[in-house]
Amino acid sequence: MKKYKKSDLETYTLGTTLTLEGLNKKVKYAKRVYIHSKQEKNETYEKIIKICNTNKIEIIFSDKTINTLSDKENCFIIGVFEKFNEEIDYSKNHVVLVNPSNMGNLGTIIRSSVGFGICDLAIIKPAVDIFDPKVIRSSMGAIFNLRFTYFDSIEEYLEKTKGRSYYPFMLKAKTVLQDVKNEGIYSLIFGNEATGLPDSYLNLGTSVIIKHTTNIDSLNLDNAVAIALFEFTKNDFK
């Protein structure tokens, strides 16, 4: 098996806990599991073996494959999964990322989004590959609770999601986050890490700003998304 390429039909989970999470949540997409000779026979290991046996998933003991796929020295189990793709639910709240370019950020955003109960992610191309093992690892397995869809343009997304409230997050926005009074279904929209959203988004729904001092140019993207998620969902988590 070779290192991940975007064109591959399979992706993989780097690590024991992450692999167990994948097997628990998406076992029907699991193809096989690689185990390194240094893996301890602990509780997580036993759970993985049991799921594999129950579901007839091949187990391969191969130090070489694990050394090829992982850059980290403490990765001893890798799960291989068919790329799963479950379309977003158009009746639910969404996070929308326009041209995200950083894999670590994308994984962290998936983690906080699923954490706050928004399990539908729309991604506007061009964008980073959500199946890259770095994204999966940085999501800490939250990706297995996520539905997601790539769109060629924001217009295509808007066409399919009429009748909801749009909140583009922008430094030029007029409405301060803590003043937003949302009712009904919504989409929280964020731009690229370096460039943010273009000015044209000021005309879409209610543009929102997370105010901060002038000592920084902007917040880190995944920090901004986490703050927005917290504020929009806080009445659900009392």
- Binding residues for a copy of itself, rule: CB under 8 A, are 104, 108, 111-112, 114-117, 119, 140, 142, 145, 176-179, 210-213, 215-217, 219-220, 222-224, 226-227, 230-231, 234, 237-238
Nearest distance from C-beta of residue 34 to a copy of itself, angstroms? 24
CA distance 58 to 2: 18
Nearest distance from C-beta of residue 160 to a copy of itself, angstroms? 25
Q: Is the peptide bond before 126 cis (omega within 30 degrees of 0)?
A: yes
Choose between 96 and 109: whose C-beta lies nearer to a copy of itself. Answer: 109
DSSP 136-159: HHHTTTGGGG-EEEEESSHHHHHH
Nearest distance from C-beta of residue 71 to a copy of itself, angstroms? 14
Choose between 80 and 114: whose C-beta lies nearer to a copy of itself. Answer: 114
Nearest distance from C-beta of residue 12 to a copy of itself, angstroms? 21
Choose between 1 and 171: whose C-beta lies nearer to a copy of itself. Answer: 171
Region of 15 (left: φ > 0; alpha: ψ -120 to 50; beta: rest) is: left
CA distance 143 to 127: 16
Choose between 7 and 235: whose C-beta lies nearer to a copy of itself. Answer: 235
Choose between 60 and 176: whose C-beta lies nearer to a copy of itself. Answer: 176
Q: Where are the alpha helices (DSSP H) in the chain?
A: 16-26, 43-54, 63-69, 103-115, 133-138, 154-160, 221-233
Q: Contact, 151 vs 124, CB < 8 A?
A: yes
Nearest distance from C-beta of residue 228 to a copy of itself, angstroms? 9
Nearest to 229 by CA among 108, 71, 118: 118
CB within 8 Å of 134: residues ≥ 6 apart: 103, 104, 107
Nearest distance from C-beta of residue 173 to a copy of itself, angstroms? 13
Choose between 7 and 213: whose C-beta lies nearer to a copy of itself. Answer: 213
Nearest to 167 by CA among 199, 207, 201: 207
